[in-house]
Structure 1
Amino acid sequence: LLTYTDYAKTGRISRYFFALLLFGIGLMAKPMLVSLPFVLLLLDYWPLRRFAERRTFGLLIEKLPFLALSIASSGVTLLVQREKAMPALDMVPIFLRLENAVLAYVAYIGKMFSPTGLAVIYPYNLHPSAIRALLSLATLVVVSAAVIRIGRHKPYLFTGWLWFLITLVPVIGIVQVGSQSMADRYTYVPLIGLFVILAWGGWEALSLLRIPRLVQALGASMALVLCAGLTRAQLRYWHDSIALFQHALNVTVDNGIAEANLGYALAKQGHYDEAIAHYRAVLQRYPRAIADIWYNFGASLAATGKLEEAIKAFQNALTLNPSMGDAHQNLALALVRSGRLQEALIHLGDAARLEPENATVHNIYAVMLGAAGRTDKAMQEFQATLRLAPDSAATHVNLANLLAKQHARDEAMAHYLEALRLNPAFVEAHCYIASLLLEEGRTEDAAAHYIAALQTKADYVPAMVSLAWIYATASGEVGTQHAAEAVRLAEQACRISGWKQSRLLDTLAAAYANAGRFEEAVKAGEEAFSIAKAAGENNFADSIRARIDLYKKRSPFRAKR
């Protein structure tokens, strides 16, 4: 506007083209600026008063390049935003959109003078009050008529009021490109027009009333303090997403978008039960809501173990958007947890097809193919994953696990070692390597990897119990020298796990026996036996019983290596 004003005053064509360039940049940042060509005409009327100096036709021709940019920007905006609208809102009947537009105009004026009850999103009301709409329309008509009548003598009224009306047209909802009925952010430019009226009109009023300057200053100061207080109060609602969307729910009615976003914010903080309640409330009112809401609902349900509901939610998301790769992936994971591996593979295949560059999807697909016994296909997916993410330590470990099952130990070891090279803190890789080494009878080397894992993560139970088992069941000096360490590790593992895992208690019993504490060994062994028996692990329970018999004879258990 400053550049255009400079052009209007000096006639320098370079300023005109610079203003046009700045307008194009402005449209890329704020598409609602499409009404600027009409605003420039208003400025030509007042305060530039160019209509008195030039013919109207010339002023109109001058705005055509600006208008061309506006038309292009409008087309792009409509094309992009229509795909993001809530379902069926772009099909709202025109008379409802006109009603909402009239109500919004008056609501914006009201919020300018009383900025309370502000919300990040105002829901679209499909059943607006006809009486309120008529009263709002009457208000706009009366004010516009008064402005036209008085504006001849006070042109700032004409320019300010039409500035407000015109700059709101692109976002007032007549052409619906979103799910909101109005938005505070849309008023930054339009309210300039009303503030122009207040500034010039207020100055005239103060001049006529001859109010002392001290009183004027005090009044302005009080207004600033009031605005500062309201701003401070409003900032509290922007502290975080939960506060923001909870406030929107508090000050609006039937706000499905705010409720869905509140659910998402709660889920991000791990408050899944609260998130589920909000998602459920939205979906009961809008069962055909966008796929993302069903997807987020399913993710929260899955996080709380409600797998059947989660599966249905993911399926609903895919009904609305069959190309949603994340929904296919998470549906597959929920199906796997429900023991439905074959169904899961179908959806993982779809996810891999929809997101061919997503290494995580290919990795998960490969793991599940391996679990289903489809080794060749799993190998192909692992290779695809490594092509996409050659530095993925997790993929190397997963591939190594599959190779180890196929007894390709050398290849498996190579991938485990590569995983450790990529991520030296990968404790699971240390444990897998140790398992392979134990199978080869390399007990000391295996123990070294378990120790390395515990140096990285001191409370890693699998490494604790495995190292304790090696020490507790080793023959000769190894068992004798590390007897106390075996007991310490086994007790710590049981303590962390709540003394409820049969394998850990069995290891503790072996450690006690190795240390000569046979009564405690028998007691721990009996607890391990009871837990294993209750879990239906009969073969393991029989092994524990055989070791208990040794402890009763005051003899430790020695593993064959």
Structure 2
Amino acid sequence: MKVKDNKKKSKDTVAGKTPVNRPLDDKTEDYRWLNIFDSTDIIIFFIATLSFLVFFQVRHFDFVNFDDSKYLTENTFVQKGLSFAAIKWAFSTSSSDYWQPLTWITHLLDCTIYGMSPGGHHITSLILHVLNTVLVFFVFEKITGMRNKAAIIAALFAVHPAHVESVAWVSERKDVLYAFFWFLSLLSYHYYVTSPSVKRYLIVLFFFSCSLMSKPMAITFPLIVILLDVWPFGRLNKGNVVRLILEKIPLFFFSAASSIYTFYAQKAVGTLAPVDMVSIGARFKNAFISYLSYIYIAFVPINLAAIYPFSFNLSTTKAVLSLALMLIVSAFAVFTLFGYKSFKPKPYVFTGWFWFVITLLPVIGLVQVGPQAMADRYTYIPYIGIFIILVMMWPDNFFENKIKKYAMYSLTMTVILVLSLLSYRQTGYWKNTITLFDHAVLVTKDNFIAHNSLGASLAQAGRFDESLPHLREAIILNPIFFEAYINLGNVLFTLKKTQDAANIYKKAIELNPKSAMAYNGYGVAVLNSDDNDNSFKEALEAFKQALIIDPNFMPARMNLEIAIKEQGPRH
């Protein structure tokens, strides 16, 4: 496959360097409808300030009870801050389903600087997002040579509402961090392409490895640089496909190693859904429908939620239609490489579309991890592919007419303003756990995870009567949702409905016989519901079973010792 290139040889070609093929010459910037700013410095100031203002409210936000406990609020080791022992731990820990040592180090550093004040942790994530926005501008300004189109791509990246989750959720530090090194990898690859050398390639490899050590979603990077070889670099013109693929072997090796480790790590901690739980057919249906949902959200970013639960009742017809549409668009993207008669080649459509498709592959659900069908945070880098198509498709000669020129100028600024306002509003929902899941319940249907999380958060805030309807609704929507039974049992026990709590804990044990927490809860509830000898013996057996399952589960050990010592009810 060859991409036509009618350009004259560049100075790099004369010097024996690999030329960087740009789809448009820098002179095309002479049409001034996009010349919003006078200099690169002003562009950087504008996009950085825009992204900062949209998200600056996070400085007042709390941690949320949604993985933040795993990373910070209940992680006593991380709370101790940065040290040599902590760095060693970050590179060796298996306390997460990812190998993400650099992400752990940023959390350790935040704890050293801010302690457990959540505002500081949020500001670190915001700073990384602002840096990412600037890097997006630099990447596309360098690889396309079109300053103002690069600025608009960066502005869309900065304020798209789907990116709120990556910025406003402290646990998603890994998202903004891996993207930071991803963009540095792309910049380094640009410099390598302009003048290939071992030194420059090693720099690419270094930043790519840092990206992988932040979040393994970076594994698609080798495929993305192959897309960039097609457009805008035009490196396939010489028919050197094999050499360009061989050139990426070290990158593919790093991706393969990261993928294998992540697969076994997630399997070990139980986040990887087995085939007998989520069938191959269900995974493919969810993947095809999710791709279309992501495209919809790209253009209509409203009613976004922290969690979209996986559904086992997806329409086969909808999945088939989604697949058909994906194949049609993919075929058209390939067609744009060559053109036909009056249709000129538009290789940026090929690169943009497959950028979007490929970067979503690790999280599209073919390997199902966790209870979600899709997630806003997964779009942080993939949406750039869509932005490329939208911005680059604007014809250069379309804006020679003064009225059309300023109409498009106004439209561009209006879109950015609307997205900024939507993002500002969406960011506000991440203020705390209650507002987050209250919104999720409001904008989604049959969201048992959101109901359970809202109920648990209300209970944690002491609003027990308000929490009960949500926990019961979670169980109605998903009768085998173990966590909801535990939370409901806890609330019922707190409300002194001990017999009801015992029944709920017993159901939890039936669903998960290996839960020390369920046995401990059942033991405490039974012990407090009746003082007869049978109840006492039943409670002792429950505590003992909890300790057989988890010998280090201290609540069960303490309850067993106290029950034996006092032979009476224990709260």
Which TM-score tier does this pair reach, normalised by the shorter chain? 0.5 to 0.7
Distance 2:456 2:397 in 1: 51
Distance 1:236 1:205 in 2: 41
Q: Which deviations, in whole Å up to 9, do the C-alpha atoms of 1:475-520 show, x marking residues without a partner?
A: xxxxxxxxxxxxxxxxxxxxxxxxxxxxxxxxxxxxxxxxxxxxxx
Q: How far is the alpha carbon of 1:263 from its aligned partner?
A: 1.4
Q: Which deviations, in whole Å up to 9, do the C-alpha atoms of 1:80-123 show, x marking residues without a partner?
A: 44554597786333233222222211211111111011111112
Correspondence 1:9 to 2:194: yes
Change in Cα spacing, 1:348 to 1:94, as seen in structure 2 (3 Å) is closer
Distance 1:209 1:78 in 2: 55
Letter matched to residue 178 of structure 1: G
Partner of 1:248: 440
Q: Which deviations, in whole Å up to 9, do the C-alpha atoms of 1:271-296 show, x marking residues without a partner?
A: 22332222222223323223x33211
Distance 1:106 1:180 in 2: 16
Secondary structure of 2:501's aligned partner: helix
Q: Which deviations, in whole Å up to 9, do the C-alpha atoms of 1:248-282 show, x marking residues without a partner?
A: 22222221111111111111112223322222222
The within-5 A match list for 1:72-83 is: 72-82=257-267, 83=269
Q: How far is the alpha carbon of 1:169 from its aligned partner?
A: 1.4
Aligned residue pairs: how many?
372
Distance 1:359 1:149 in 2: 63
Secondary structure of 1:181's aligned partner: strand
1:196 pairs, out of 384, 388, 406, with 388
**4-13 or 302-311: bigger deviation:** 4-13
Partner of 1:222: 414
Distance 1:307 1:361 in 2: 17
Distance 1:341 1:365 in 2: 11
8 Å CA contact 1:87, 1:288 repeated in 2: no
Q: How far is the alpha carbon of 1:147 from its aligned partner?
A: 1.9
8 Å CA contact 1:123, 1:180 repeated in 2: yes
Percent identical: 36
Correspondence 1:99 to 2:285: yes
Secondary structure of 2:236's aligned partner: coil
Partner of 1:235: 427
Partner of 1:36: 221
Secondary structure of 1:51's aligned partner: helix
Q: Which deviations, in whole Å up to 9, do the C-alpha atoms of 1:173-226 show, x marking residues without a partner?
A: 122222222111111111111111112113547446665554443222222221
The within-5 A match list for 1:113-512 is: 113-152=299-338, 153-202=345-394, 204=396, 206-207=398-399, 213-290=405-482, 292-338=483-529, 339=531, 340-357=535-552, 361-372=556-567
Distance 1:240 1:140 in 2: 37
Q: Which deviations, in whole Å up to 9, do the C-alpha atoms of 1:413-459 show, x marking residues without a partner?
A: xxxxxxxxxxxxxxxxxxxxxxxxxxxxxxxxxxxxxxxxxxxxxxx
Distance 2:463 2:299 in 1: 38
Gaps of 5+ in 1: 374-561
The within-5 A match list for 1:539-554 is: none
The within-5 A match list for 1:45-56 is: 45-53=230-238, 55-56=240-241
Change in Cα spacing, 1:50 to 1:75, as seen in structure 2 (3 Å) is same
8 Å CA contact 1:81, 1:178 repeated in 2: no
Letter matched to residue 277 of structure 1: P
Q: How far is the alpha carbon of 1:156 from its aligned partner?
A: 0.8
Distance 1:194 1:36 in 2: 17
Distance 2:507 2:397 in 1: 61
Partner of 2:211: 26
Distance 1:244 1:90 in 2: 32
Secondary structure of 1:60's aligned partner: helix
- Scaled by the length of structure 2, the TM-score of the pair is 0.60
Q: How far is the alpha carbon of 1:3 from its aligned partner?
A: 1.4
Secondary structure of 2:394's aligned partner: helix
Partner of 1:513: none
Change in Cα spacing, 1:206 to 1:32, as seen in structure 2 (3 Å) is farther
Distance 2:362 2:420 in 1: 30
Secondary structure of 1:125's aligned partner: coil
Partner of 2:96: none
Letter matched to residue 489 of structure 2: G
Partner of 2:20: none
User: Which has the higher Rg, Structure 1 or Structure 2?
Assistant: 1
Distance 1:337 1:4 in 2: 66
Distance 1:352 1:154 in 2: 65
Work out which structure has the larger RCO, using CA pairs closer than 8 Å and 6 or more positions apart in sequence: 2
Change in Cα spacing, 1:343 to 1:117, as seen in structure 2 (3 Å) is same
Distance 1:343 1:76 in 2: 43
Gaps of 5+ in 2: 1-185, 339-344
Partner of 1:61: 246
Distance 1:354 1:99 in 2: 37
